[in-house]
Amino acid sequence: MAKYYINAGNKVSRINKEIYGHFSEHLGRCIYEGLYVGEDSEIPNVNGMRTDVVEALKEIKVPVLRWPGGCFADEYHWKDGIGPKETRKKMINTHWGGVVEDNSFGTHEFMELCRQLGCETYINGNVGSGTVQEMSEWVEYMTFEGVSPMADLRAKNGHPEPWKVDFFGVGNENWGCGGNMTPEYYANLYRRYQTYVRQYSSDKPICKIACGANSGDTDWTQGVLKTLFRNSDPNQHGFANGLSLHYYTVPGPWEHKGSATEFDEKDWYVTLSKALEMENLINKHGAIMDQYDPEKKIGMIVDEWGNWFDVEPGTNPGFLYQQNTMRDALVACLTLNIFNKHSDRVKMACIAQMVNVLQSVILTDGPRMVKTPTWHVFNLFKDHQDTDLVESFIETEMIGGEDTGKVPNLTESASVDADGRLTITIGNLSVADEYPVEAVIAGCDVKKASAQILRGAMNAMNTFDDPDAVRSEEFEVLLTDGGLSFTVPACSVVKITVEE
């Protein structure tokens, strides 16, 4: 019997809703087909956005959406994507699949998508191949309210009102596809470019995000922060509101990452143990951030994370299309629990990517759509958005083989919302064993509890022919004197809601 202690009265940190964010890039069938089909499509749509996909995304309360990349961002010239669609430039998407990009989805369409989703906007600007003027004019185009060349152009293109840009990324992966820069060089560019990301609206300041490290590259974090903080006013906290971190879970070597669907127990534990590395990375990069920013004013923004497997056989290798199983569900569960636990520093995260690319929450095939196991995890976890993390600890044992990397059998986090409702999310990382749990809950008079579970065999997935093979269902938990008791089945994700 695993003992689980929760002190609902001890609030540890705020879980920003943005931790449950998403990422959409002009990559494969994410934007085109996945999100946007155009006004003339036979697939039901509103202003070109797929109705089925938008409805499914609203259900999981997407809080924020990042766009247009990724590597695409540092090749994107925003003026190509405005104005009458028939005159928009056609170009080759050199990064992703070498296909023609007709720019029919641009700034206006992205803002329309976010309007339909009811989510915040996270625009990623181009430092790698773009100019300061181009970036500055994009911000003016989107957010300036008075008379100005860019605001006039926006009005001419049908949108007199400015939009709200909540977050602005100054470059993407500038250590790699975004220009192969050194940290010091990038940080100097960041200082310069961000100066012209003007705050046109005092009541809606744009949060500026600097490009952070790839995985464990702490030299990058150190080099960037050192340069950002050099001779700068402490009140400007390095000119940044956020510093990104990218980490993908890749079970095998890059040339053979492993199949998304055909894997064995060994692959299962290898994948989960690699996903757990996220916690070490947050600690390592967080420790460097603490040196410069002990008050944690700069958020760690994990704006690309998720599983990266081999593409589905027969699909364009440049489209990064992969299926999604219960293994993805458990990786999502353990990662989101890690983010919750580190919400004092992790202020936003975006899973890569929203539709049809890498660890997607939605897959589409023509007019058909499936919600993946990862979608179901986001659906179970949505009650953590904008709540307070509370103190919790569960007894665990290490499982997995010697040659696979060990993982704890259980992962958890707990939060309390403004009405005092306690949400607990638990994952059982074992493919074979169930675990009885006895939860002792302090700081909350447990009167009522309900629960839902997502479970299945490790390779279980939703397909276009069987879209509901994996779905959540009711789960029984018992009230005890002072808490709860329940048994978590193998390979499952459980959400418990406790009310006083």
CB atoms closer than 10 angstroms to residue 315: 16
Identify which of residues 71 and 454 has a Cβ nearer to ligand AHR in the complex: 71
154 vs 257 by CB, closer to ligand AHR: 257
Write out the residues near ligand AHR by the rule CB under 6 A: 25, 69-71, 172-173, 304, 352-353, 358
Selecting among 173, 312, 412, 474, the annotated active-site residue is: 173
Q: Residue 321: CB partners within 8 Å, gap ≥ 6?
A: 28, 29, 311, 312, 315, 356, 357
Write b or e for each residue in 166-186: b if 16 or more Cβ atoms lie within 10 A of its Cβ, otherwise e. bbbbbbbbbbebbbebebeeb
Find, among 396, 399, 414, 426, the residue nearest to 488 by Cα: 426
Distance (Å, whole) CA 274 – CA 331: 9
User: Where do we find the tokens 């996945």?
Assistant: 34
Give the nearer residue to ligand AHR in terms of CB position, either 105 or 200.
105
Answer whether 431's CB lies under 8 Å from 266's CB. Answer: no
How long a stretch of residues is the chain? 500
- Alpha-carbon distance of 84 to 462, in angstroms, equals 39
Task: Say which residues have a Cβ less than 8 Å from residue 31's Cβ, sequence separation at least 6.
Answer: 24, 25, 68, 105
Residues near 172 by Cβ (< 8 Å), separated by ≥ 6?
69, 70, 71, 73, 74, 124, 128, 178, 211
> Tokens 């990218």 correspond to what residue?
246
Of 308, 247, 244, the residue nearest 276 (C-alpha): 247
- Give the residue carrying structure tokens 């199949």: 259
Task: Give me the least distance between CB of 261 and ligand AHR, in Å please.
Answer: 20
Strand partners, 100: 92
Record the tokens describing residue 118, joined without a space. 């009811």
Residue placing its CB nearer to ligand AHR in the complex, 37 or 350: 350
Q: Shortest approach of ligand AHR to residue 245 CB, angstroms?
A: 12
| Cis peptide bond prior to 70, omega within 30° of 0 | yes
- Which among 24, 1, 3, 100 has a CA at the least distance from the CA of 395? 3
Q: How far is the CB of 316 from ligand AHR (least distance, A)?
A: 14
32 C-beta neighbours (distance < 10 Å), count? 18
Q: Which residue has the tokens 């190509």?
A: 80
Enter the tokens of residue 106. 């641009």
**Smallest separation, CB 51 to ligand AHR (Å):** 26
Question: By C-beta, is 31 or 407 nearer to ligand AHR?
Answer: 31
Cross-strand pairs, 390 = 11
Nearer to ligand AHR, 27 or 410 (CB): 27
User: In the bound complex, what is the minimum distance in angstroms from residue 307's beta carbon to ligand AHR?
Assistant: 11
Q: Report the distance separating Cα 277 and Cα 334, nearest Å.
A: 11
358/493 with CB nearer ligand AHR = 358
Closest separation in Å from C-beta 352 to ligand AHR: 4
Nearest distance from residue 248's CB to ligand AHR, in Å? Answer: 7
Q: Could you tell me the end-to-end alpha-carbon distance of the chain, in angstroms, rounded to an integer?
A: 25
Q: Please state, in angstroms and rounded to a whole number, the distance separating the CA atoms of residues 413 and 51.
A: 33
Minimum CB separation of residue 407 from ligand AHR in Å reads 25
Q: Does 173 participate in catalysis according to the annotation?
A: yes
Catalytic residue among 304, 412, 438, 474: 304
CB of 180 to ligand AHR, least distance (A): 13
- Among residues 307 and 430, whose Cβ is nearest to ligand AHR? 307
Q: How many CB atoms lie within 10 A of CB 487?
A: 16
* Smallest gap from residue 357 Cβ to ligand AHR (A): 7
CA distances from 456 to 16, 435, 439, 493 (A): 30, 16, 24, 10
Q: Is residue 304 among the annotated active site residues?
A: yes
Give the pair of three-digit tokens for residue 276: 């757990």
In the bound state with ligand AHR, the residue whose beta carbon lies nearer, of 69 and 81, is 69
Q: What are the φ and ψ backbone dihedral angles of 385, each rounded to 5 degrees?
A: -65, 130
Residue number of the CB atom closest to ligand AHR: 70
The residues assigned a catalytic role are 173, 304
